[in-house]
Chain A
Amino acid sequence: MSKKLKKLLRRIGIGALLYLLAILVPYIIPNLNENIELGLFLFAYFVIGGEIVKAAVKNIGHGQIFDENFLMSIATIGAFLIGEYPEAVAVMLFYQVGEWFQSYAVGKSRKSIAELMDIRPDYANVIRGGNTEEVSPEDVVIGETILVKPGERIPLDGTVTKGSSSLDTMALTGESIPRDVAQGEEIISGCVNLSGVLEVKVNKVYGESTVARILELVENAGSKKSEAEHFITKFARYYTPVVVICAVLLAFVPPLILGGGFTTWIYRALSFLVISCPCALVISIPLSFFGGLGGASRAGILVKGSNYLEALSDAEIVVMDKTGTLTKGTFAVTKIVPAKGITEGELLENAAYAESYSNHPISQSLLTAYHYAIDKSLISDVEEIAGHGVCAVYNGSRIYAGNSKWMEKQQIQAQTAEEIGTIVHVARDKDYLGYVVIADEIKADAKQAIDGLKAAGMNKIIMLTGDQKKTADSVAGELGIAEVYYELLPKDKVDRVEELLGNKSEKGKLIFVGDGMNDAPVLARADIGIAMGGLGSDAAIEAADVVIMTDEPSKIAKAIQISKRTLIIVKQNIVFAIGVKVLILLLAAVGIATMWAAVFADVGVAVIAILNAMRAMRAK
């Protein structure tokens, strides 16, 4: 709690006691002079709201007549003038309680959102001249070595030069499984070191490190305002003057036309002034968006502005790149088809040994699939024929591995493969052993991603790829994507997206999802560009409007879901706040609602709206 808030709380406490005293005294001392009673109420009033009156007087000097201090002062002083002493003090008391609660809630939510994104490292242990020194991360230069102990946050991006450990990337990616790192690997600031001691050679200064970039991005996200926020600002600009003018009319016109006492109508008019502040709206709408942005970043989704979070809820078309988005973009063994009498292990072993001298991506994926270490002393006479394959002597037999042309050349009868991808046939001497399929793998959650998008109401999901038809169709078929465009050059992708943008409904938004590497122009052209695997990729963070920190496409549906939830909360707040205010205004005009109800319409509504806004933060 800030000093200002503590002071206000004390003031409210003392004021409330004095107010109670002013109410009770006439019961204890009957026939009390009315002026003494008024004096007691006035004393309580100034203790509670003296500051407000002072600020009001000062602000009139600045020409601010629709300022809330001024309106509250007029409303309460007016109540005194028509003899409603207890109500005058009560209105001021509850107004102050409301103000206090509002400030407290905003401060609290600001803090909890900040905690949500608390990835800022406090210090770095830098090794200088053989000693470790604890310095601010800003003071470490490129090329220096830092020491990261278990439990510490990695302060700067760099390469591990000594040690191995596992890292908790939860705060950055929302991923709960730790990531293992070893010597020679790149690590990213903001993660928490869990087990071993690491020595890290720094390769980026703090300002350019991942953690600083993410923090900057999140902090600036609130300044890109949404339509809803613009609407509220505009609404507030007209709302207060209109209500004040109505209050003035209400005070003087009906008594002149209908006759009767001014007091009744002035009382109603004063209630209007109490309701005239648009605070509930002005504060709860940005707060809802901020909460939504915070909740999304905890799930590993960085949204670069409230406007994008808002736009996501209107998503209609989702265009996805294939490689790197739906598939891993790396080659791996996807199928092993041994010939009769041969085991999968035997086939893979022979393939891996034959290819072990090559550093082609295909051989690498065979070695990865084989798992065991290769004993190079068992191989000899390796020969590689470009465009065909390899042959090598392993365990005394000649092994051939390569494409079907290679098999034909050796006059080996190879099986015909129907699978999509690169096929490696393997033979031992003249015996055919079978074939191995190597292909780009579909990501584990890709199917779930597409199903999630369909469940979120996206009925137009389109896949774009530079790959050939056969591969494209197979991936799309497996994932259940109906519309596919293949063999596209980067420029063709832009054209496709342009075409789709022309065909969508006016309000609907087009999302493009890519890996941020080669698709910057498309990401920029789409209504919302989403880049995958942002962790560690500057290009992706730069180019997109929304960055998914992990490689999981299922987060796209999650982002849409968070956006929709936030927008529901925003709409609830708008309807609730305006609804209650208008209702109480109407009731006050006809004399049903008292000033007590008016205070509720002002501060009660604001508090409820703020509490509702905080729900946006809790992404499920």
Chain B
Amino acid sequence: MKKTYILEDLDCAHCAAEIETAVGKLEGVKSSTVTLLTQKLVIDVDETEAAGITKEIRKIVKKFEPDVEVVEK
């Protein structure tokens, strides 16, 4: 299933790429795309893993960009 997150205040291109790669490696995530200009993270995740995924994503984002707020859409 597709999930979209807004990464508020994301303004570092390098970090965007790091977040994209790290989220893509999470269990059950089939695809992960971060678009810096729309500040969006779109993932395709298995239904079975979807429940806990937001928490995992928050953890990753905090690691690379502590100032960025993750908002689920």
Chain A contact-residue range equals 20 to 34
B14, A4: Cβ atoms under 8 Å?
Answer: no
Residues of B within 8 A of A220 (CB): 42
Contact status of A106 and B14, CB under 8 A, knowing A2-B9, A223-B42: no
**Smallest CB-CB separation from B63: which chain A residue?**
A62
- Residues in B with CB closer than 8 Å to A266 are none
Contact with B along A213-234 (1 / 0, CB 8 A): 0000001101101000000010
Closest to A110 in B: B37
Most buried by B among A55, A283, A287: A283
Segment of A274-282, A354-362, A578-586 engaged in the interface with chain B: A274-282
A-B CB pair tally, cutoff 8 Å? 50
Q: Is A334 located at the chain interface by the 8 A CB criterion?
A: no
CB contacts (< 8 Å) of B64 on chain A: these are: 64
Q: Does B11 contact A (CB under 8 A)?
A: yes
Chain A residues 20-70 with CB under 8 Å of chain B are 55, 58, 62, 64, 68
Per-residue CB contact flags for chain A residues 1-28 toward chain B (1 = under 8 Å, else 0) read 0101000000000000000000000000
- Which A residues between 69 and 108 are near B, CB-CB below 8 angstroms? 102-103, 106-107
The yes or no answer to B33 lying at the interface (CB within 8 A) is yes
- Shortest beta-carbon distance, A304 to chain B, in Å? 14
* Least CB distance, B70 to chain A, in whole angstroms: 16
For A64, the chain B residues whose CB sits under 8 A away are 18, 64
Q: Does A113 sit at the interface, judged by CB under 8 A?
A: yes
Q: Are B11 and A106 in contact (CB under 8 A)?
A: yes
* B27 contacts A by Cβ under 8 Å: no
Does residue A286 face the partner (Cβ distance < 8 Å to B)? yes
Q: How far is the CB of A396 from chain B (nearest CB, A)?
A: 72
| A residues 276-314 in Cβ contact with B at 8 Å | 277-279, 282-283, 286-287, 290
Closest-CB distance, A232 to chain B (whole angstroms)? 9
Judge whether A236 is part of the interface by a CB distance below 8 angstroms: yes
By the criterion CB–CB under 8 Å, are B67 and A4 in contact?
yes
Task: Decide: A222 near B9, CB < 8 A? Known: A236-B17, A278-B14.
Answer: no
In Å, the complex CA distance between A233 and B14 comes to: 9
- For the complex, give the distance between the alpha carbons of A233 and B13 in Å: 10
A4 to B35, CA, bound (A): 20
A interface residues (Cβ-Cβ under 8 A, vs B): 2, 4, 55, 58, 62, 64, 68, 102-103, 106-107, 109-110, 113, 219-220, 222-223, 225, 233, 236, 277-279, 282-283, 286-287, 290
Q: State the 7 A-B residue pairs at the shortest beta-carbon distance, nearest first.
A: A282-B13, A283-B13, A222-B35, A103-B11, A223-B33, A290-B37, A223-B35
